A and B are shown apart, each in its own frame.
Chain A
Amino acid sequence: MTTATLILALVVVVALAFDFTNGFHDTGNAMAASIATGALSPKGAVTLAAILNLVGAVLSVEVALTVSNSVVNIQDSKGLPKAELMASGGTMLLLIVFGGLVGGIIWNLFTWLLGLPSSSSHALLGGLVGGTIGALGFAGVKWAGDGSKLDGVIGKVILPSLISPVIAMIVAATATRLIFMITARVEDKFRERRFRWGQVGAASLVSLAHGTNDAQKTMGVITLALVAAGSVSSTAVYVPLWVKLSAATAIALGTYLGGWRIIHTMGKGLVDISSPQGLAADASSATVILASSQLGFALSTTHVATGSIMGVGIGKKGGTVRWTVAGRMVAAWAITFPAAAVMGAVMYWIAAGLGGIVGPLVVLAILCGLSFYMWKRSRVNVIDHRNVTDDWHDGSKPEVVVAAHEVIDPHHELDEPQPAAGPATH
């Protein structure tokens, strides 16, 4: 066994580990609303999400082999590694990917510990950018592409993360507003029960779309590593079946584990959700995600899902959003990419600096140590399927009250002649 083969094995292991963290980090994107409204039991929701993620991942026949191309210059347009990185059995490229994945995992675990829904795609891309900077310097990073299309760090990461939550928020707020107008005369209990069905359907679509989108990123990364190490022919790149199946399994198992800390924040921390709002949030997330992938507009499922949940808080008359929680979340979004990049670069330097197989093994040891430490810390205040739907920990109601009409309807006096508009008067 050569050093490159050993490093390749480590890359595959950490890639699947990343996929696993991606699974539990994003369970909440599809299921937080359904769990919060009681449309599904916590265990039932993660089981459904896991199955749909598995199905979605297995369906990803056409895998994005060029996943790294949007942000770094380590592959050509066919998905082949750049020739200059192939020296000494592709070790340099393997170490870039290795460092990037470890950086992404550490950041994913850290934000999970804090219960913050940060973007797993940003963690992965940030990590890869960091690894590339470590190896090739800043010149290896594609900041803006050639300007003819949305590309590079600016076009694929920064702009979409600013725009997509706003879109989701507008769509979800509009849907919420209209739903409550239409069903104003329907009794609360009847409405709450009926909307649960629709909510589960919409949440399922989000899960399925997530499976097809996210698992294939890992598949692409593993395949890139296999090509670099010469295990997959570099003339006809294909994704081996075992890669597909193992990546699909890893994301499904991660989803089943359930990132309860994150689900708690999304489902209970931001907004107190009723089932009509849950349907609005999930329908908005599903359509925004699908429309974006149809139009080739890169975005993060996490940003869309949280934007939708904030939107339903704004859209309901007298609805409220805990803006301090939202603020922490947005801060986490902003630093995810650079933080994962720093982590990726440091990990690359350690791995390449020590050299041989020792370097990667030291990095692996650091990863295991940090993971164990963060898991230990999470046991101080356990959040799991038993207490995930408890009220937000400080027992507060969302503190800043926002009247819906002030946000989305400047002509709110039009709403006044509706005496039968239900109990939502304020």
Chain B
Amino acid sequence: MNMIPLALEGAWKVLLAGLVLGAGLPVLYALSVRGMAMAKGAGAIIGEQTAKPVGKVIAWALLIVILLAVAYGISFIVATGLGKVVTFDHIVPWFVDKPKK
């Protein structure tokens, strides 16, 4: 049964991508929530009275990163539907035809 190694090879890649994006993006989101809470201060952070406005800047910067990642996710779904793939060959991501197998 030589398919089990093949399956594990696929699984390992999916797990890696899942951990980087599937856990990474929620971590960024959590950091942005924490930033928002910092900016609000009392009532948002346990035991904190003073608001730190810098939190808001951090939060928005993180949200922009997340939105870019999501935009990539959507363009990936759309590209797959259209039979194309997203490449980074030209630095700027762009759609190209799916390579024929």
Q: Are the chains A and B members of one assembly?
A: yes
User: Which A residues are closer than 8 A to B by beta carbons?
Assistant: 56, 59-62, 144, 147, 149-150, 154-155, 159-160, 163-164, 167-168, 170-172, 174-175, 178-179, 182-183, 185-187, 190-191, 194-195, 198, 201, 205, 208-209, 212, 276, 279-280, 283-284, 286-288, 290-297, 420, 422
A-B contact pairs, 26 of them (CB 8 A): A56-B81, A61-B82, A62-B81, A154-B3, A155-B6, A171-B18, A175-B26, A178-B30, A186-B44, A187-B37, A190-B36, A190-B40, A190-B43, A194-B33, A201-B70, A205-B70, A205-B73, A276-B30, A283-B21, A283-B22, A287-B17, A288-B17, A291-B14, A293-B80, A294-B17, A294-B76
What's the dominant secondary structure at chain A's contact region? helix
Contact partner, A286, options B22, B29, B46, Cβ 8 Å: B22
Q: Say whether B25 faces chain A, with CB atoms less than 8 Å apart.
A: yes
Q: Say whether B74 faces chain A, with CB atoms less than 8 Å apart.
A: yes
Chain A residues whose CB sits within 8 angstroms of the CB of B58 once the complex forms: none
Q: Are B36 and A61 in contact (CB under 8 A)?
A: no
Q: Say whether B53 faces chain A, with CB atoms less than 8 Å apart.
A: no
Give the CA-CA distance A163 to B74 in the complex, in Å.
25
Q: Are B10 and A61 in contact (CB under 8 A)?
A: no
Are A212 and B77 also in contact (CB < 8 A) when A175-B26, A182-B27, A186-B33 are?
yes
Q: Are B18 and A190 in contact (CB under 8 A)?
A: no
Are A185 and B18 also in contact (CB < 8 A) when A163-B11, A279-B29 are?
no
Chain A residues whose CB sits within 8 angstroms of the CB of B81 once the complex forms: 56, 59-62, 212
Interface residues of B in 9-65 (CB under 8 A from A): 10-11, 13-15, 17-19, 21-23, 25-27, 29-31, 33-34, 36-37, 40, 43-48
In the A-B complex, list the 3 residue pairs whose CB atoms are closest, starting with the nearest.
Answer: A62-B83, A287-B22, A59-B81
Chain B residues whose CB sits within 8 angstroms of the CB of A147 once the complex forms: 2-3
Are A187 and B2 also in contact (CB < 8 A) when A59-B78, A212-B81, A283-B25 are?
no
Contact partner, A283, options B26, B40, B48, Cβ 8 Å: B26
Q: Are A212 and B26 in contact (CB under 8 A)?
A: no
User: Which of A56, A167, A276, A420 has its CB near the most chain B CB atoms (within 10 A)?
Assistant: A167
A61: nearest residue on chain B (CB-CB)? Answer: B82
Q: Knowing that A144-B3, A163-B7 are A-B contacts, what are 4 other residue pairs whose CB atoms are under 8 Å apart, sorted by A's residue number? A: A185-B48, A205-B77, A212-B80, A212-B81
Chain B residues whose CB sits within 8 angstroms of the CB of A186 once the complex forms: 33-34, 37, 44-46
